[in-house]
Chain A
């Protein structure tokens, strides 16, 4: 599904990711944890294809294709989805119209006809119920005046609409109260299946109580320094990152 090998990425000339490696198989949920400034969000933005991120070396193979050769929009149509840490507000365009454009762009990419109004409405109804988002939010301008929780719910709604094969969640739990967290996590869990993989980036173990990962990785200094099962997240929550740092120093 996703294979990242020896990836080095710089932003404004400063190297952030250093020899980063990760393999994700279909249906797996991987969590990436780590202190601030270790390159977690850089990884997410690089996978999504943000222009300011300069890939110095390494490769990213996604479903047998070289992801790094594609523009952001093509990656999305191929099935990569990034749930933004800070979703953008766009006054003047409704989420509904945005999704109409996005869903049909993907359908065209897959050689399908655009959805007609009736089928699109049906899809909207089904997916908005999944993430418990009110229909009135979808006819409003994208994220404009939304609370933090509403914005994140909108991200998961868009994810449900586009049915990606790789979902990258960049600190989706930040700024969420416990109810919003539960709703967002429920939405994600309903989208889990044998072919869809998740890369969940988070500071806190809390989210992983709801979205239970198959693997937990700890990032430090631009690379993964420790990997384990879900119990690793619990240990980090209880003991902090210092012991990992020490291990790295000794290693």
Chain B
């Protein structure tokens, strides 16, 4: 069905206040369409060929199935969790924090009861005129997580936002969304976790807008674990005010032996440092298998002076998998005394694996310190020999050295319970039992 008709069919469900924005977004998307590889930002990621051309964006009915229950049961005991099925909030499975100065609810409720905040922030960080998937999402998204932390309120336990996809229709293209607002001096840790809990291939398009006030601190972990049969596009837009700190770690593990060879993950992670002394920290770790494609596009926009940013990405690519890394550092004319660093490293563990890595620095201020480094290679032969000379098999030595390579990124995850969870996942992934 044409998108316009799909929109007309469901627009009565949307909050009236958001309708003009949604219509603009739809119009923008109709102009942009799904990008082909001719588009510079999608040169190595042929999403047009992967996405079902007749996708439907309307929400499909959401059933709690055994896969959902089992996964929730397997999670470490997080204090707070928000569960979404096909993008729609499931209150019974969720544990919503009840903390003074913190508002946590779903977007539908936020549109209804926190209109001043949604009007001010929803759809304001995404660029509808040239971000294809953010435009599509803004037009159609039905629900998502809404978190608002008042001035100087510190939330100590991480909030875990879990998106399950339980689609029964292969043409479904789920639209999910988070809106996170930290007022000045607030502090919060969140995890966004995405999981295919269906027997079929799923398609989803996630957008998050995150506001970090002055002296506030927001730590985000994006978990894309055991990804199989999924086409996922993620857009995260953050804005950081004076002396605010933002960190995001994006962890992508493609699952082996799916047999269906259908994994495409694209992450667009952007941070705009608009207040003096702001800091952004980007970490990424990805494991590709079979013919998975994992694409990380990072943009840090230094707008204000005296800001710092750091990008550390590491990939491990097996079999015929492909990695894409594009790290942009923009330094605007006013952003003097910027200090920006970028590092991208990839291990190619098979002859067929490949990575397309591109640093992109655009600097319009003269008193800045920017550096980048990229390394692509195999494991160090001397290290392999050292481990093998103690009786460790070549396979296990490879796993141990891969663990050593990857662990640095896990160390960048601020939240202790999530860091421990990732450390265990990493050992599982590499079949290490130490």
Looking at the assembled complex, report how far the CB atom of A88 sits from the nearest CB atom of chain B, in whole angstroms. 4
Number of A residues with CB within 8 Å of any CB on chain B: 31
Q: Are B389 and A101 interface neighbours, CB within 8 A?
A: no
Interface string of B421-434 (1 = CB under 8 A from A): 00000000000101
Q: B356 at the A/B interface (Cβ < 8 Å)?
A: no
Interface string of B383-412 (1 = CB under 8 A from A): 101111111111011001101111110000
Looking at the assembled complex, report how far the CB atom of B266 sits from the nearest CB atom of chain A, in whole angstroms. 28
Q: Are A92 and B390 interface neighbours, CB within 8 A?
A: no
Looking at the assembled complex, report how far the CB atom of A152 sits from the nearest CB atom of chain B, in whole angstroms. 14
Q: Which residue of B lies closest to A92 (CB)?
A: B404
Q: A10 at the A/B interface (Cβ < 8 Å)?
A: no
Q: Are A90 and B386 interface neighbours, CB within 8 A?
A: yes
Q: Are B407 and A102 interface neighbours, CB within 8 A?
A: no
Q: A61 at the A/B interface (Cβ < 8 Å)?
A: no
Q: Give chain B's interface residue range (CB within 8 Å of chain A).
A: 20 to 34
Q: Are B391 and A90 interface neighbours, CB within 8 A?
A: no
Interface string of A59-87 (1 = CB under 8 A from B): 00000000000011100110001101001
Please, which residues of chain B bring their CB within 8 A of the CB of A105? Answer: 391-393, 396
Chain B at the A interface: mostly helix, strand, loop or mixed? helix
Q: B382 at the A/B interface (Cβ < 8 Å)?
A: yes
Q: Are A73 and B382 interface neighbours, CB within 8 A?
A: no
Q: Are B408 and A92 interface neighbours, CB within 8 A?
A: yes
Q: Which of A19-27, A46-54, A171-179 contacts B (4 or more CB under 8 A)?
A: A46-54
Please, which residues of chain A bring their CB within 8 A of the CB of B392? Answer: 73, 76, 98, 101-102, 105
Q: Are A101 and B385 interface neighbours, CB within 8 A?
A: no
Looking at the assembled complex, report how far the CB atom of A73 sits from the nearest CB atom of chain B, in whole angstroms. 4
Q: Are A97 and B434 interface neighbours, CB within 8 A?
A: yes
CA distance A76 to B389 in the complex (A): 6
Please, which residues of chain B bring their CB within 8 A of the CB of A109? Answer: 391
CA distance A51 to B384 in the complex (A): 11
Please, which residues of chain A bring their CB within 8 A of the CB of B387? Answer: 90, 98, 101-102
Please, which residues of chain A bring their CB within 8 A of the CB of B408? Answer: 91-92
Q: Which residue of A lies closest to B410 (CB)?
A: A92
Q: Are B400 and A91 interface neighbours, CB within 8 A?
A: no
Q: Are A84 and B386 interface neighbours, CB within 8 A?
A: yes
Q: A5 at the A/B interface (Cβ < 8 Å)?
A: no
Q: Are A93 and B391 interface neighbours, CB within 8 A?
A: no
Q: Are A101 and B403 interface neighbours, CB within 8 A?
A: no
Q: Are A106 and B391 interface neighbours, CB within 8 A?
A: yes
Chain B stretch 94-153: residues in CB contact (< 8 A) with chain A? none
Please, which residues of chain A bring their CB within 8 A of the CB of B393? Answer: 73, 105
Q: A88-B382, A100-B434, A101-B434 are in contact. Are A76 and B404 (CB under 8 A)?
A: no
Q: A50-B385, A88-B382, A90-B383 are in contact. Are A76 and B403 (CB under 8 A)?
A: no
Looking at the assembled complex, report how far the CB atom of A214 sits from the nearest CB atom of chain B, in whole angstroms. 25
Contact check: which of A77, A88, A91 meets B386 at CB < 8 Å? A88
CA distance A188 to B387 in the complex (A): 21
Please, which residues of chain B bring their CB within 8 A of the CB of A87? Answer: 386
Please, which residues of chain A bring their CB within 8 A of the CB of B381? Answer: 51
Please, which residues of chain B bring their CB within 8 A of the CB of A98? Answer: 387, 390, 392, 400
Q: A160 at the A/B interface (Cβ < 8 Å)?
A: no
Please, which residues of chain B bring their CB within 8 A of the CB of A102? Answer: 387, 390-392
CA distance A105 to B388 in the complex (A): 10
CA distance A81 to B405 in the complex (A): 26
CA distance A36 to B209 in the complex (A): 65
Q: Are B434 and A92 interface neighbours, CB within 8 A?
A: no
Q: A92-B408, A100-B434 are in contact. Are A48 and B400 (CB under 8 A)?
A: no
CA distance A170 to B432 in the complex (A): 30
Q: Are B383 and A101 interface neighbours, CB within 8 A?
A: no
Q: Are B391 and A91 interface neighbours, CB within 8 A?
A: no
Q: Are B404 and A90 interface neighbours, CB within 8 A?
A: yes
Looking at the assembled complex, report how far the CB atom of A167 sits from the nearest CB atom of chain B, in whole angstroms. 12
19 interchain pairs (CB within 8 A)? A48-B389, A49-B389, A51-B381, A73-B392, A76-B389, A82-B389, A84-B389, A87-B386, A90-B383, A90-B387, A91-B404, A91-B408, A92-B405, A93-B403, A98-B387, A102-B390, A102-B392, A105-B391, A105-B392
